[in-house]
Chain A
C-alpha cells in the first residue's frame, strides 16, 4: 500500500517536471535547463519504479529474480547503445537518429501491450480495446520510423509506389483493425493466440506500407507525426498500466507533436493528407521552366562585392549542410562582420531537413543565435539589403511560388531574396530544386551564380577577403 503511494507520487512529480522542462525548452535562454529538468524527472521515476518489485502479482513472484536481472540488463544495454549512437552521430544525420529513437519508443509501447495481452488475468473489453489500440499505434510508429530512417539515411533512395497502392494500404489497415477486434473478442477463449499474433504482424506491416510511398522531402513531417503517434500509444498504454504519469507524458507529447506536425506541413504549404496520400514530385515532367541565361562570376569577385557591401543576408539551405561548409561559412561571416558589414542569416521554416535543423547546424558551427532570423522577421528587409547570398537553397527563394498559379510550389511562403539589390547563388550546377521546378530567380538581372561545391567556393571567398586585408 505504502509503496503504491511512493511510486504514484514519483510519477506525479516526474510529470510535473516534464511539463516544466518542455516549457523551459521553448526559449533558447532556458532550453538547456529544460532538458536537464526533464532528465531528473525521468531518473527519479525510473528509480521509483523499482520499488514495484515488492508489489508484483502472486503469479510473478517465483520469476522475480530472473525478471529483475533481465530488467537491469535491458536498461543498461539500451542506454549504452543509444548513448553511444547519440553521442557519435553527425549533426547532419540528426533527423534520422530522432526517427530511430522515436521508433524505439513506439516499439516499447507495442511490447508493453503484447506482454499485457499474454497474461491470463481477466480484464474488461474496454481495457483490452485500449491495449490493442495502443499496440496498433505503437507498431505503426515502430516500423514507420524505421522506413523513415532508411529514407533519410539514403539507404532507400526512391519512394516505392505501385498501382492501387492506396487501396492495398487501406486493405492492410482494415485487416489490422479486424484482427485487433478479434483479439479483443477472443481474449477469453483458447483460440486467442492466432488473431493476436496476426494482428501484430498486420500492424507492423501497415507502418511499412504507409511510409513507403512518401518521398524523402516529406520525411520530417512524417517523423514528427510518428513522434505524436508514439506519444499517443504511450498515453493509451499508461491507462492500461494504471499509470497516470505515462498518460500525461504520452498525451502531452501526442498533442504537442500533432501541432508541430501541422505547423511543419503548413510551412511547406502541404496539408497533412497531401503529405500522406499524394505523390509529390510526379508532376515535374510538365515543368517547362523559365528560359534565359544565367550569369556567373568567380568566388573572389562575389566575395569582394560582399566585403564592400554594407548589408548581407545569407540564406543557407540543405546543400550547405551536405557540403559540410557551415564552419567555412561562419569563418567568412566573421571576417565580414569584423570589417563592419551587417550580416544576418535568414532561415526558411523548412530549411534543412526539419524545422530548426538549419539553426542547429549553424549553431554547431558557432553562429550566435541572435544573428539568425526567421522568415517573417526578415522578409521585409531584403528590399533594403545590398547582397543576398543563397547557399545550397533553391525552392525556398523561388519567386514563382508567389506569382505562378500553375507551379507545384505555388503558395509556399518564400524568402524574398529576389528583392535584394544583388543576389549571389552558390550552387553546384544548373539543376532544379527538390520540388523539380526551375527557379526564375536565377535568370533575373540582379542575380549572379557562383558555381561550385559550397565548401570549395567558401574557401576561395575566405582567401579573397583575407587578401583584401582589414579595413
Chain B
C-alpha cells in the first residue's frame, strides 16, 4: 500500500527524472559558441536556492539558525545576481555583422 509520505517521495523521483531529461534535451542542441554563457546561465538558474534559504531563515528559531540562514540567503542572492549580470554581459556581445560579408574582389 502506498502511504502519503512514500507517494510524495515517489512523485519527487518522477519530477527529478523529467527535469533531468529536460536539462539533457535543452543542452544537447546548443552550439559550442554558447557553452560558456550557458554554463553561466544555468549557474544563474540554480540560484533559485535563495528561495529555499529565505524559507529556512523565515522559520529560524535560534541564533545559530539565524546566522547560518543569513549566510545562506547572502550566498544565494550573490549566486542569483552574479549569475544574471555575468550571463547578460556575455550574451549582450553576441550580434551578427551589420551587413553580409563583402563579395570577394579580384586580387591584383
- CB closest residue in chain B, given A17: B45
Contact assessment for A251 and B38 in the assembled complex, using a CB-CB cutoff below 8 Å? no
Q: Is A434 an interface residue (CB 8 A)?
A: no
Q: Is A462 an interface residue (CB 8 A)?
A: no
Whether A259 touches B49, Cβ cut-off 8 Å, given contacts A79-B78, A104-B78, A115-B72, is no
Residue of A26, A52, A230 ringed by the most chain B CB atoms within 10 A: A26
Contact assessment for B51 and A78 in the assembled complex, using a CB-CB cutoff below 8 Å? no
Whether A85 touches B82, Cβ cut-off 8 Å, given contacts A337-B101, A369-B95, is yes
The CA of A263 and the CA of B74, in the complex, are separated in Å by 32
Q: Is A243 an interface residue (CB 8 A)?
A: yes
Minimum Cβ distance to chain A for residue B18 (Å): 8
Chain A residues with CB under 8 Å of B88's CB are 32, 35-36
Q: Is A213 an interface residue (CB 8 A)?
A: no
Chain B residues with CB under 8 Å of A87's CB are 85, 89
Contact assessment for A112 and B58 in the assembled complex, using a CB-CB cutoff below 8 Å? no
Q: Is B27 an interface residue (CB 8 A)?
A: yes
Q: Is A71 an interface residue (CB 8 A)?
A: yes
Q: Which residue of A38, A68, A369 is within 8 Å of B58 (Cβ)? A: A68
Q: Which residue of B37, B61, B64 is within 8 Å of A31 (Cβ)? A: B37
Contact assessment for A71 and B54 in the assembled complex, using a CB-CB cutoff below 8 Å? yes
The CA of A105 and the CA of B84, in the complex, are separated in Å by 13
Q: Which residue of A11, A247, A471 is within 8 Å of B19 (Cβ)? A: A247
Residue of B43, B46, B74 ringed by the most chain A CB atoms within 10 A: B46
Residue of A14, A34, A347 ringed by the most chain B CB atoms within 10 A: A34
Chain B residues with CB under 8 Å of A25's CB are 30, 34, 37-38, 41, 87, 91
Interface residues of A in 356-370 (CB under 8 A from B): 356-357, 359-360, 363-364, 368-370
Minimum Cβ distance to chain B for residue A462 (Å): 19
Contact assessment for B65 and A86 in the assembled complex, using a CB-CB cutoff below 8 Å? no
Chain A residues with CB under 8 Å of B79's CB are 82, 101-102, 104-105, 108
Main secondary structure on A side of the interface with B: helix
Chain B residues with CB under 8 Å of A237's CB are 49, 52
Contact assessment for B78 and A34 in the assembled complex, using a CB-CB cutoff below 8 Å? no
Q: Mark B48-87, 1 if CB is under 8 A from A, else 0.
A: 1111111111111110111011111111111111111111
The CA of A309 and the CA of B49, in the complex, are separated in Å by 54
Q: Which residue of B37, B53, B85, B89 is within 8 Å of A108 (Cβ)? A: B53
Q: Which residue of A14, A91, A95, A359 is within 8 Å of B33 (Cβ)? A: A359
Q: Is A288 an interface residue (CB 8 A)?
A: no
Q: Which residue of A36, A95, A243 is within 8 Å of B51 (Cβ)? A: A243
Contact assessment for B33 and A28 in the assembled complex, using a CB-CB cutoff below 8 Å? yes
Chain B residues with CB under 8 Å of A50's CB are 54
The CA of A107 and the CA of B76, in the complex, are separated in Å by 8
Whether A248 touches B78, Cβ cut-off 8 Å, given contacts A49-B54, A111-B72, A237-B52, is no
Chain B residues with CB under 8 Å of A116's CB are 56
Contact assessment for B64 and A118 in the assembled complex, using a CB-CB cutoff below 8 Å? yes
The CA of A66 and the CA of B62, in the complex, are separated in Å by 11
- CB closest residue in chain A, given B62: A118
- CB closest residue in chain A, given B85: A86
Contact assessment for A26 and B38 in the assembled complex, using a CB-CB cutoff below 8 Å? yes
Contact assessment for A94 and B75 in the assembled complex, using a CB-CB cutoff below 8 Å? no
Q: Is A64 an interface residue (CB 8 A)?
A: yes
- CB closest residue in chain A, given B5: A124
- CB closest residue in chain A, given B64: A118
Q: Is A241 an interface residue (CB 8 A)?
A: yes
Q: Is A168 an interface residue (CB 8 A)?
A: no
Q: Is A224 an interface residue (CB 8 A)?
A: yes
Whether A248 touches B15, Cβ cut-off 8 Å, given contacts A63-B66, A78-B76, A371-B101, is yes
The CA of A251 and the CA of B30, in the complex, are separated in Å by 18
Minimum Cβ distance to chain B for residue A172 (Å): 23
Q: Which residue of B36, B52, B108 is within 8 Å of A357 (Cβ)? A: B36
Q: Is B26 an interface residue (CB 8 A)?
A: yes
Chain B residues with CB under 8 Å of A255's CB are 19-24, 27
Q: Is A136 an interface residue (CB 8 A)?
A: no
Whether A363 touches B94, Cβ cut-off 8 Å, given contacts A77-B74, A78-B81, is yes
Contact assessment for B66 and A67 in the assembled complex, using a CB-CB cutoff below 8 Å? yes
Chain B residues with CB under 8 Å of A38's CB are 41, 44-45
The CA of A157 and the CA of B83, in the complex, are separated in Å by 26
Determine, out of A54-62, A182-190, A417-425, the stretch whose residues face the partner at the interface: A54-62
Q: Is A139 an interface residue (CB 8 A)?
A: no
Chain A residues with CB under 8 Å of B105's CB are 339-340, 471
Q: Is B1 an interface residue (CB 8 A)?
A: no
Contact assessment for B70 and A355 in the assembled complex, using a CB-CB cutoff below 8 Å? no
Contact assessment for A105 and B75 in the assembled complex, using a CB-CB cutoff below 8 Å? yes
Contact assessment for B31 and A248 in the assembled complex, using a CB-CB cutoff below 8 Å? no
Q: Is A153 an interface residue (CB 8 A)?
A: no
| Shortest beta-carbon contacts, A-B, top 8 | A78-B77, A111-B72, A86-B85, A368-B97, A82-B82, A340-B105, A363-B93, A108-B76
What 15 new A-B contacts, CB under 8 Å, besides A28-B96, A249-B48, A310-B107? A38-B41, A79-B78, A82-B77, A82-B85, A87-B89, A94-B40, A95-B36, A98-B43, A104-B79, A109-B52, A111-B68, A256-B23, A263-B32, A371-B97, A374-B33
Mind listing 6 A-B residue pairs with CB under 8 Å?
A26-B38, A86-B84, A231-B42, A342-B104, A355-B32, A368-B97
